[in-house]
Amino acid sequence: MNSCIYNGEVSHTRFRPVKHFLKYKTFSLFIDLDEMDKLDKIIPIFSINNFNVFSFYNKDHGKRDGKPLKNWVIESLKRFKVKANVNKIKLLCYPRIFGYVFNPLSIFYCYENNLLKAVFYEVKNTFNEQHTYIFNVKNNQNLIQHNCRKKFHVSPFIEMNCNYFFRLLRPGEKISVVIDQYQENEKILFASQDGKRANFTSSELIKSYLKHPLMTFKIIVAIHFEAFKLWIKGIKFIKKKIKIKNNITFEN
């Protein structure tokens, strides 16, 4: 199967106004959207759109209306006139574990046959809001680089007047996602996710769970714990000014 698991870690380094570092071990699913029904049938502890030890719900992504995600991706590409005949879409995300998940970042990789043509960076905050940044991928390069203005409130300790610089390696035996955040041409935050590939099977899911028990619950707890530590360090709290549900932008 094209679908797999990536076991690895997430790290953040904040450079200013105070230094702060965190690192957590995680595991992610890399799901070929065409294989979802097959995964649901052959893995007893994994379900699509139903409760299980591990599960994946369409309503956690895209329009969050529960409809097939592949249709949403292709419609979005047509809406922004992306010139590619995308026929394969893979999604990097955390699974629901016992029904709960929080995905700060999910990534849709859009292929025309085996050529990567577009990437969707789907960003969520703890207010249940979401913004998706869509980029073209040129020349099918191994190192994929994108940059854009920040358009979505994520951290209550970082202003909106920032730029993102995304760097991805094409998924293979390893996964690598790096995001640098700049403010006035000065790097203020480095975030990364790395992982090694494992087969998408019941035994590998169990191994991943035993290494990272209740991972999805720990993620949301860790976010608030790290925010508390930043507040203790005296970083200014930035109030969110607007409320949104789902936004999507095409970036050049």
**If residue 136 lies in a helix (H) or strand (E), which one and from where to where?**
strand 130-136
Give residue 244's pLDDT: 82
21-25, 83-87, 215-219, 224-228: which has the minimum mean pLDDT? 224-228
Express each pLDDT in 28-79 by its tens digit. 999 999 999 999 999 999 999 999 999 999 999 999 999 999 999 999 999 9
- pTM for the full predicted model: 0.94
pLDDT tens for 99-152 read 999 999 999 999 999 899 999 999 999 889 999 999 999 877 889 999 999 999
Cβ atoms of residues 106 and 31 within 8 Å: no
**Neighbouring residues of 70: CB distance < 8 A, sequence distance ≥ 6:** 33, 34, 89
pLDDT for 245 equals 81
- Are 130 and 63 within 8 A, CB to CB? no
